A and B are shown apart, each in its own frame.
Chain A
Amino acid sequence: MKKMRFSIYRYNPETDAKPYMQDYEVEIGPKDIKLLDVLTKLKAMDDTVSFRRSCREGICGSDGMNINGKNGLACLTDVATLAEPVTLRPLPGLPVVRDLIVDMTQFFKQYHSIKPYVVNNTPAPERERLQSPEDRKELDGLYECILCACCSTSCPSFWWNPDKFVGPAGLLAAYRFIADTRDEITSERLDNLEDPYRLFRCHTIMNCVDVCPKHLNPTRAIGKIKDLMVKRAV
């Protein structure tokens, strides 16, 4: 059976003075297809290694981590594609709770700041609020975000100003509700983002697009928000 080498970021704030990298060797069996399979095996070897996981199929967004220098989901990453030793670190830019687990508070604060829900004050019709197929199509590529934070934590603007810059995930969600024809507070949403920090920290370097495990394009959504602001202003 083939062995694979791993170098994993370890940090337990209660016992360790500072983080360190620990090396492991794991036997790769025929059923170990994804990185998460191997990590689960490794957890059985050393149960002090901590990481988040849940659905193991790229839907829950729990196991985002920095894999060989690039953010991604362990459950969607093929082990066969990884160069050895596989270096695993927590998502950059967020405080580490332990090992590969980061504190996502700041990330979700930004997400909540864009009001991630449809606001419609018109009395509800007897049945659901309808959209034309074309209007609904505008939401494709937006609603699929699983909030794994791979994009925002690969964005230098988010590293420098996580408290002020909404970040690619939050802005993608913002556009999702701006684009929704059932939402009635478009202008208020644009007002909320018209700020040198909240929106305009994005300098279009597209790290977010590069890492998104769901192949979404936050940069395009951010561009569309800016387009709407221009349309509103001129």
Chain B
Amino acid sequence: MKKEKLNIKAALTLATTALLGCHNLAQAEPTEKDSWEFDAAFLFYSEVDRVSAGEAIFNAKKTFEDEDVLNLKLTIDALTGASANGAVAQPTVQTFTRPSGNGQYQVEPGETPLDDTFHDTRVQLNGQWTQPVSSNLTASSGVHISKEYDYLSLGLNGNLAVDFDRKNSTFLLGFSYFQDTFTPEGGIPNPLISMLIGDRNAPTWDDDFAKTRLGSEDDKTTADILLGFTQVINRRMLMQFNYSYSTVDGYLNDPFKIVSIVDINGVTQDNIYESRPDSRVKQSLYAQSMYHFDNVVLDVSYRYMWDDWEIESHTIDSRFRIPMGDSLGKESYLQPHFRFYQQSAADFYRPFLLEENALPTFVSADYRIGEMAAFTVGLKYGMLVNDGNELAFRLEYYHQTPTDAGFEEPGVLNDVELYPTIDAVIVQVTYSF
């Protein structure tokens, strides 16, 4: 252990920053008492040749004199572009029916089949109320509502945080519950039933299409329990450990995803709607550490997640906040970001099915539950403008590499890309006032 040279001036500096620093944070200024703090952010996300999304967040936070906190958040996002439908690429032109049943689209030879009809707008509202119950106990509860054209999500959450040992340790217990209803255009497809492809103008089309459908809507519920422990290690370091248990029940399919059935030559014979189990239990362990060097603040976290679909994932996320003084704007900082993600495939994930084999009960070719690795590199730049309001810019690059988990590729599938990589750019502007 390093013994710091101690003098009275140094000890006083510590005592002084405790007096002035903490008070500054703990108690709002007379002019700021009962006032609102706002964050406005706009994010643009764009994948090469695939979806683009714009998302705006407006967050309003009010801290009352008795330290109760009300937080209101409005999120609006719009998504447009093409998304993989799950089918494999073929050396020939392929035709698919749009999810609504009203039309078909064609995919060029060798191209990964993408459904380009995705466009959706979503509005989300969150309200959260946090209040100290006693000096060492804080309670918080919140509501969530999210609505898009074909989806409605309602949520509730509650948390209790108990502080120990001069507030150096905190236990957190939280739960949340979501009730989601999916009403996709064209209805809910019948799992494992073939996608209807043929003459859109045939008089029997509408009846035949309806036969591939189960109904107009379905729902799912999500219940989460979170146990957390936060510990101050020393003056420079703080750690958090979480365990979470999440159970999802109900309609867990993606109604827009299909699976190709190929013959021994790898030629597609049929495309069927995917079929996932109607429940999923996810668990995760999460550890995060904040470390304050002389100037730089390091934030590193690791998450291990596993579920009963046999997906396992590892996530490492790190940020270094480097203060730049007034060199790039008042009290500016640069914050490089690096994230690495790796997951194994769900046990029912298949990039395609072989015609010769019996149809499994559960199957999905959605690459998002297949084996993959991904990384994100980014840089954030923030500064103070207009007497203390923060303006920040963030630029990130996200690269996903779906990987082959050892599925044998028959015939023509050897010549096409079954695991295309995805590149996305994220740009964000945030203004806090």
Query: Is B truly associated with A?
Result: no
